[in-house]
Chain A
Amino acid sequence: MRNKLFVFLIVVMGVIIISRLFYLQIIDTRFEDLSKKNSVLALYEYPERGYIFDRNKKLIVANQPTYDVMVIPKNVSEIDTSEFCKLLKINQNKFNTLLEKATSYSPRLPSVFVAQISKIDYAKLQEKMWKFKGFYIQRRSLRKYYYESASNVLGYISEVNDNDIKKDPYYQSGELIGRQGIEKSYEKELRGNRGINYFQKDNFNRIIGSYKDGVFDEKPKRANDIVLTLDIELQQYGESLMNGKRGGIVAIEPESGEVLALISTPGYNPSLLVGRKRSENFTKLYYDSISKPLFDRGLQGQYPPGSPFKILNGLIALQENVITERTSFTCYEGHYYTRSSFMKCHCDWGTKNVLNRSIYNSCNTYFANAYRRTIEKYQSPEEGLTQWSNHVKSFGLGNYLGYDLPVGKKGYVPDASFYNRWYPNRAWQGVTTISNGIGQGEVLTTPIQLANMTAAIANRGYYYKPHFIKEIQAKSIDSMYLIPNHTTIAPKHFTPIIQGMSDVIQKGTARIARIKGIDVCGKTGTAENFTIIDEKRQQLTDHSIFIAFAPKKNPKIAIAVFVENGYWGNRWAAPIASLLIEKYINKEVSRPYLEKRMLEGTLEEEYNKIISGKPFTINE
C-alpha cells in the first residue's frame, strides 16, 4: 500500500503539470498576443545622489548633469554620418573605430559612444537625434564640488567593477559606487535606490506606453542628504596653512566627538576625480609615491607621539599614586637611568622640577622617572607594563577609533608580551622601556588618535568616538557616537595636568601659541624619526607636533597637528594650531604676521634633501 502512494503522487504531478501546460498554451490565447506585443523595454530611473553639507549647512557637494551619447550597434542603419560626426566634433575614422569598439563589446547591448558631451553640443544634438537610428542620449549625473577642499574626507565615486557586482547584487555594470571617504561610508544613504519602468514596444520597436499600466514598475527611492561635522571654512583655512608642508591635522569638538577638520597635506582638488579626466588624474595621484596625496596622514599616518605623550604618563602616574603634584625630580641636563645610560634633557643643570614646571618646560627626566615608578610599582615589569598599557589604551590609542571613514591605522601601544618576544627569557625591566615615558619608544599614534586623546583630557576623563556624520536626512546617526567612553583616570587628576598645559602657553615652550582672550592649553612635541635610504637607517629632521584645546573652561575645540620634519613643535605645529583655534572660536585672526609666515613657509627644501641622493644634515 505504502509503495503505491508514491506512484500515485508522481502520476498526479504529471497530470497537473500537463493540464496546466494545456491551459496556458492551448486554452488561454492571450499569451500569443502578449508575446507579440511583448517587447518590453526596461528603463532605469536613478534618484539624484544625496547632497553633502558642512556643519553650518554650507553646501559642499552636489551634482551636475552631463550627457553621454550611447549606441546599440545592431540598430544603427543608414545615417548621415558626416552630419553626425560634425555634431559630435569627431572625424569619420574616429566614428568607425568607436562603432567597431562598441560592436566588439556587444552588438545588442548599449555602450557609451562619446562620453560627457558639453551642454552646448547636447542642445544642438538633441534636436536632430531622431535622425540617427541606433544612437540615443543618456543623461548622467556627476559630482560637483563647491570647495577645492576636504577631498580626503569626501572621497570619490566611480563605476562599479566586477567585484562590486559580485559582492552586492544591487549593482549593475555602469553604475556608480562610493569608493572612498564619506561617499563610501554612507553609500546607501547617498545612493538611494534606482527605480525601474517597463515600457511596451511594438514590432517597429517604438514605445507605445507603459507595460501593463506600470504594475511591475518600481519607484526610485530618493537619496538622503547628509550633514557632516566638518567646518568647511576651518578645513580650508587649515589646508592653506599647511601649504608646502606635509602632515596631518585633526580638530575635534570635545563635548560631542564631532570632527571639525581633518587635514592631510599634500592633498588634491576633489574636482580632479570627476568627469572625462578622472582616470588620467587618478593614475597620477595614485602613482605619486613621493607626496602620496591619496594617503590620509590624519588617519593613516603613524608617528611617535613625542612629548605630548608625557601628559598621559603624568596622568597615569597620578592615578597610580606614584607621584603627587608636589613630587620633584632634579634634572642634570638629563639623568642616568642605568649606570651607563644617559637620557638628555634641555633643563639647566640642577633644575628641581615639580609636575607643573616639568609640563611647561617638557622635562624628560621628570617623566622618565614618573613612568619608571609606574612600572616598578608592581612586582614584575610585566604586571606594571600591563597596567600602564591599559591606561594608555583607555584613551583610544593603539586601536581603531570607530570613526565613519573607511581608512585608518591602529597605531601601536606595546604590552608586556611585546617585550617578552623582543627580549627572550624575560630579560627586560621597567627601564628597558624608558623611552615610552617621553613618547619616543615603541608607541605609535595617528593624528586623529592624538586629537581624540586631547579631547579626553579637555573633557577631564571621557571622550566620544570621533565621527564625521552630524545628520542624515530622515534617519538618526549611529548610537555608538552618542555614548561617552570613560578613561581609567579619575577626573580630579586632570586639574594639575591641565594647569600645566595652560602654562605651556603662558610661560612654557609654546608662548607663540598665545591668543588674546582665549585660555589655550597645549603641549609641544618634537619627535625623532627615521627612514631607510639605500638600505641604511637614516635619521631625519624631527617631526613638529602640537596638541591643544581651548578654552580651558568648556572647551570648544581639541586639536592635534603633525608637521613632518618640521623640527621644533613651536616652530610650525604650535602656530598652526593656535591660528586654527583662533579662527574657529573668534571667526577671525588677529595676528597677520604669524598667519603670513605659516601661509608662505614651506618645507620643500627639507623634503627634497631626502630624495636628493646626497648626504644631508638634519635639525637645522
Chain B
Amino acid sequence: MNNSVVSKIDWPTVLVYLVLCGLGLGNIYSSTAAYTVDNIFSLEAVFGKQLFFLGISICTFAFVMFINVKFFERFSSIFYLICLASLIGLFVFGTTVSGATSWYSIGSFSLQPAEFAKAITALALAKLLSDIHTSLKKVTDQMYAFLIILLPVLLIIPQPDPGSALVFLGLLMVLYREGLPSLYMWTLVIMVVVFLLTLYLTPFIVSLILTTLFLIFIFTYGKKGKMIFKSIIILFSCISFAYSVNYIFNEVFEQRHRDRINIVLGKATDTRGIGYNTNQSEIAIGSGRWLGKGFLQGTQTEGNFVPEQHTDYIFSTVGEEWGFSGGVFVVVLFVFLLLRILFISERQKNDFSRIYGYGVASILFVHIGFNLGMVLGLIPTIGIPLPFFSYGGSSLLGFTILLAILIKLDSNRVNEW
C-alpha cells in the first residue's frame, strides 16, 4: 500500500472498528456454539458465514482505500439511483425470510440492499448539501433534502422492515447540523413528547398541562402581542395533536406496535408473550453481575433462552458472559467511535466530507442507541442490528463500507486546498 495513504489513515478509528468486529464474532460464536452440530467454520454455520463476511469486509475496507477520493462525490447520484432500483427490484425478485421481503438470494447467501442504502443515502445527501447553490434556508432545498431521505424509507417500509426505515430519519440530525431551521426539530421533539405523554395520560390532562405551561410562559416572559399570538397557535396545534393521538395509535399502528409501546410504558402487563424476548434478555444481562460468567459459560446464552440472540439481541451475550465490566467496555468503545467520527468530520476542510461524516455518525448513533435501548428494555422492540456486532453479512459489509469511505475521505484532507 502506498505509504502516504497508510500514514494518513485515522488509525484509532480503524483499531476500534477491528476490536468491535472481533468482539462481535466472539459473541456470535458463543451464542450459537451450543446449537451448531457440525464444523463451526463451515459456511453453513452462522459463525463460519460471519467469519467469511468479516474477511470480505476487511478486503473491501482495504479496497476502498485505493479508490480515488473524487469517485465517491462524483458518482454518488448514480449510486443513489442504482440503490433505489435495487430496492424496487425486491418487490419482484426479492426472497422472503420471516415474513419480510428484504433479500436477494445468491446461492446460499443473501444480500439485503437496505444495509447498503444507508451509506449511499448519506453520500447523496452530502453531495446535495455540499453544493454551493444549496441552502437549507430555502424551502425548495429543504424539500430536496427530505426527498433524498424519504425515498428509500418509503421503499423499505413495505418490505416490511420499519426498523431499517427508522434509521434514515437519523439523517435529520445532519440537516440540523447543516443549518436546517430549528423549527423542524422543535416540532418533531414536541410531537414525540406530546404523543408519549398522551398515551401515558389522557388527552385532557395533557391539554391541561400544556395550557398551564402556556400561561406561565405568558406571565413570565411575553406581553408582546406577536408572541402571544404565536404561542396560542402552537398551543392549539399541540392540543389538537394530543386529541388525534388515540386515532393514530389505534388506526395507523398495528397491534404488535401497540403492544410493544404499551409494555414499555407499563400500561399493559404482558400476557401474550410479546415481552418474552426482552424479559429473557434482561435476565441474561442482569445475571452477569460485575464480571460476567465467562466465555461460553452463560447459562442463558448456552441454553438458547434469548430468541434472535446472535442477531439483534447480541448485546445480551456480552452482558451475561462479560458482565458490567464487559458491557461498559463495549459501550465506551461505541461512544468513543461516535465522538471520534464527529471529531474527524469537524476537521474536514471540504463540505462534502464533513457532511458525509455527520451522516455516518447519525446512522451509527441511531443503530447503537435503539439497539441497546431495546436489548436493555428501555424502548419498544425495534428490529435493527448492533453495528459490527450482530450476525448478518449485509449489515457488516454495509457498515464497513460506510466507515471506510469516511476514513478514505479523511485521509485525503491534507490535499484539499
Residues of A within 8 A of B (CB): 2-3, 5-7, 9-11, 13-14, 16-18, 20-22, 24-26, 28, 30-32, 34-36, 38-40, 104-108, 166-167, 169, 196, 215-218
Contact A215 B269 (CB under 8 A): yes
Contact B177 A3 (CB under 8 A): yes
The residue from B98, B270, B342 contacting A3, defined by CB atoms under 8 A apart: B342
Contact A21 B285 (CB under 8 A): yes
Task: Give Cα distance in the complex from A16 to B179, angstroms.
Answer: 28
Q: Answer yes or no: B168 CB below 8 A from chain A CBs.
A: no
Contact A38 B289 (CB under 8 A): no
24 A–B contacts, CB within 8 A, in A order:
A2-B177, A3-B177, A5-B177, A7-B342, A11-B339, A17-B372, A17-B376, A18-B327, A21-B324, A21-B376, A24-B376, A25-B288, A25-B319, A31-B282, A31-B286, A35-B287, A35-B320, A38-B299, A40-B305, A166-B97, A215-B269, A216-B273, A216-B276, A217-B273
B60 / chain A contacts, CB cutoff of 8 Å:
none
Closest to A26 in B: B324
A16 / chain B contacts, CB cutoff of 8 Å:
378
Q: B103: shortest Cβ distance to chain A, in Å? A: 11
Task: Give Cα distance in the complex from A6 to B342, angstroms.
Answer: 8
Task: Give Cα distance in the complex from A13 to B379, angstroms.
Answer: 13
Contact A13 B368 (CB under 8 A): yes
Q: Answer yes or no: B25 CB below 8 A from chain A CBs.
A: no
A216 / chain B contacts, CB cutoff of 8 Å:
270, 273, 275-276, 279
Q: Pick out which of these stretches binds chain A: B1-9, B46-54, B330-338.
A: B330-338
A3 / chain B contacts, CB cutoff of 8 Å:
177, 342, 346
Closest to A212 in B: B279
Task: Give Cα distance in the complex from A72 to B361, angstroms.
Answer: 48
Q: B167: shortest Cβ distance to chain A, in Å? A: 15
Q: Answer yes or no: B283 CB below 8 A from chain A CBs.
A: yes
Contact B283 A6 (CB under 8 A): no
Contact A26 B290 (CB under 8 A): yes
Closest to A27 in B: B286
Q: A206: shortest Cβ distance to chain B, in Å? A: 16
Q: A29: shortest Cβ distance to chain B, in Å? A: 8
Q: Answer yes or no: B191 CB below 8 A from chain A CBs.
A: no
Q: Answer yes or no: B380 CB below 8 A from chain A CBs.
A: no
Dominant SS among interface residues on chain A:
helix
Contact A31 B287 (CB under 8 A): yes
B263-306 Cβ-contact flags toward A at 8 Å (1 or 0): 00000011111011001101111111110000000011001010
Contact A31 B283 (CB under 8 A): yes
Contact A35 B96 (CB under 8 A): no
Contact B289 A166 (CB under 8 A): no
Contact A108 B177 (CB under 8 A): no
Given contacts A6-B358, A216-B279, contact A34 B273 (CB under 8 A): no
| Interface hub of A10, A28, A107, A217 (most chain B Cβ within 10 A) | A10
Contact A106 B37 (CB under 8 A): yes
B347-374 Cβ-contact flags toward A at 8 Å (1 or 0): 0000000000010011001001100110
Task: Give Cα distance in the complex from A20 to B282, angstroms.
Answer: 10
B173 / chain A contacts, CB cutoff of 8 Å:
6, 9
Contact A24 B273 (CB under 8 A): no
Contact B282 A10 (CB under 8 A): no
Q: B304: shortest Cβ distance to chain A, in Å? A: 9
A17 / chain B contacts, CB cutoff of 8 Å:
331, 372-373, 376
Q: Answer yes or no: B34 CB below 8 A from chain A CBs.
A: yes
Contact A25 B286 (CB under 8 A): yes
B299 / chain A contacts, CB cutoff of 8 Å:
35-36, 38-39
A106 / chain B contacts, CB cutoff of 8 Å:
35, 37
B176 / chain A contacts, CB cutoff of 8 Å:
2, 5
Which 7 pairs from chain A and chain B are nearest by CB?
A31-B286, A35-B287, A14-B335, A24-B286, A216-B273, A25-B324, A21-B327
Closest to B369 in A: A13
Q: Answer yes or no: B152 CB below 8 A from chain A CBs.
A: no
Q: Answer yes or no: B82 CB below 8 A from chain A CBs.
A: no
A34 / chain B contacts, CB cutoff of 8 Å:
283, 286-287
Q: Answer yes or no: B328 CB below 8 A from chain A CBs.
A: yes
Task: Give Cα distance in the complex from A6 to B37, angstroms.
Answer: 46
A5 / chain B contacts, CB cutoff of 8 Å:
176-177
Task: Give Cα distance in the complex from A106 to B283, angstroms.
Answer: 27
Contact A25 B283 (CB under 8 A): no
Contact A26 B289 (CB under 8 A): yes
Contact B98 A10 (CB under 8 A): no
Task: Please give 6 more A-B residue pairs, beta carbons under 8 A apart, in addition to A25-B288, A106-B37, A216-B275.
Answer: A3-B342, A17-B372, A26-B324, A39-B299, A105-B37, A169-B99
